[in-house]
Amino acid sequence: MEPIIIVLIILVVLVFIALIKTIQVIPQASAAIVERFGRYTRTLNAGLNIVVPFIDTIRNRIDLREQVVPFPPQPVITQDNLVVNIDTVIYYQVTDARAATYEVASYIQAIEQLTVTTLRNIIGGMDLERTLTSREEINAALRGVLDEATGKWGIRVNRVELKAIEPPTSIQDSMEKQMRADRDKRAAILQAEGVRQSEILRAEGEKQSQILRAEGEAKAAALRAEGEAQAVRTVFEAIHAGDPDQKLLSYQYLQMLPKIAEGDANKLWIVPSEIGDALKGLSGAMGNIGGLGGGSGSGSGNGGASVPAQERREKPSID
C-alpha cells in the first residue's frame, strides 16, 4: 500500500511541475525566447502563454522598454593632440527580441565599445574648441552610426547625449584665464563706453545750458538797453518840457562831478574844460541871488518896490 501512495505522490508532483512549466505568464512590455531542444522556436509576447513542458525552455526574458545606460568617462584625443574625457549616455530600446538574443552576445557591451570607437573617430577630426562647442553635431553623428550598426541587433538607439567633456587640468586653467581676461576686457569696454556716453551727455548739457544762458543774457541786455533808452528818452523829454536855462544845467553838472570821482580805482581824474563855464554861470546865478537879497532889504527899509513873483520863481534856488 505504501509504494502505491509514494507513486501517486510522485505523479502529483510531476503533474504540478508540468503545469508550472506549461503555463508561462509574460509581463507587459516584455518578451521571452522559447527554444525546443536548443533551437529557437518562437517568441512569447505579454500575457498567458502555453509551452510544452520538458521540451520547450525559456532561453531569455527581454525588457522591451526604453533603457538608459551611462558609460564611464572615455579618454579621447582631439585633432590638436589633447586628451579629453567624455561621458556618454545612451537611450536605446529592443525592437526584436530574437535578434537581440542571437545576433550579438552582449548588446550592452557591444553598444559601449561601438560608442567609444565612434567617439574617437568623430573627436579625432575636431580640435578642442570645436569639440566643446559642437555637442549637437557630435550627438547626431554618434546616433547615426550607432543606429545603423545596432539595427541588425534588433536595437534602436533613440538618443545619445554627451554628459560631460573634461579637458586636461592645464587646459582648464588656461581657458579660465582666457575667459577671465575676456570678461575683464568686456567690462573695461563697457565702462569706457559708459564714461564716453556720460561725457557726451554732459557736454551736450553744458552746451545747451550755455546757449540758454547766452540767450537769456542777450534778452536781458536787450531789455536793459531798451529800459535805459526809455529812461533817457523820458528824462530828455522831461528836460525839454521844463525848458531849463544855462544856470540850472551848470548846477546839475557840478552835482555830477562827485559821482564821477567815486570809486577806489579812480586815482586821477581830469576836470573837463566845461567846468569853467559852469562855474561862471553858477557865480552869475549867485550874484543875482545876492543882489536880489540886498534890494529886498533896502526896499523894506526905504519902502522900495519888490521883485515880481514871476521873476523870483524863474531864479534857481541854491540848497
Residue 311's SS3 state is helix
Predicted local distance difference test score (pLDDT) of residue 308: 42
Whole-number pLDDT of residue 316: 44
Q: Which strand (E) or helix (H) includes residue 96?
A: none
Share of residues in the chain with pLDDT > 90 (%): 9
DSSP strand pairing (30-36 vs 56-63): antiparallel
pLDDT score at 93 = 92
Q: How confident is the model at residue 292 (pLDDT cuts 50, 70, 90)?
A: very low
Cell numbers placing 119: 567617439
pLDDT at residue 270 in the model = 57
Q: Cα separation of 316 and 248, whole Å?
A: 7
Burial class (CB in 10 A: 0-12, 13-18, 19+), 167: middle
What nine digits make up the cell of 153?
541587433
- Strand 39-44 relative to strand 30-36, pairing: antiparallel
pLDDT by residue (tens digit) across 201-244? 888 888 888 898 888 888 888 888 888 888 877 877 777 776 66
Residues 6+ apart with CB under 8 A from 76: 83, 84, 85, 86, 119, 120, 123, 124
Exposure string over 130-159, b if 16+ CB within 10 A, otherwise e: ebeebeeebbebbbebbeebbeebbbbbee
Per-residue pLDDT of 52-102, as tens digits, reads 888 888 888 899 999 999 988 888 888 888 888 888 899 999 999 999 999
pLDDT band at 24 (very low <50, low <70, confident <90, very high): confident
Confidence of residue 124 (pLDDT cuts 50, 70, 90): confident
The three-point CA angle 236-242-243 to 5° equals 90
By residue count, the chain amounts to 319
As a whole number, mean pLDDT of residues 283-288 equals 55
For residue 170, what pLDDT is reported?
Answer: 76
Convert the pLDDT of each residue in 95-121 to its tens digit. Answer: 999 999 998 888 889 998 998 888 888
Strands 67-77 and 83-94: antiparallel
- CA end-to-end span of the chain, whole Å? 176
Name the more confident of 293 and 281: 281
Rounded Cα distance between 161 and 92, Å, is: 12
pLDDT at 300 over 50: no
Instruction: Report pLDDT for 8.
Output: 79
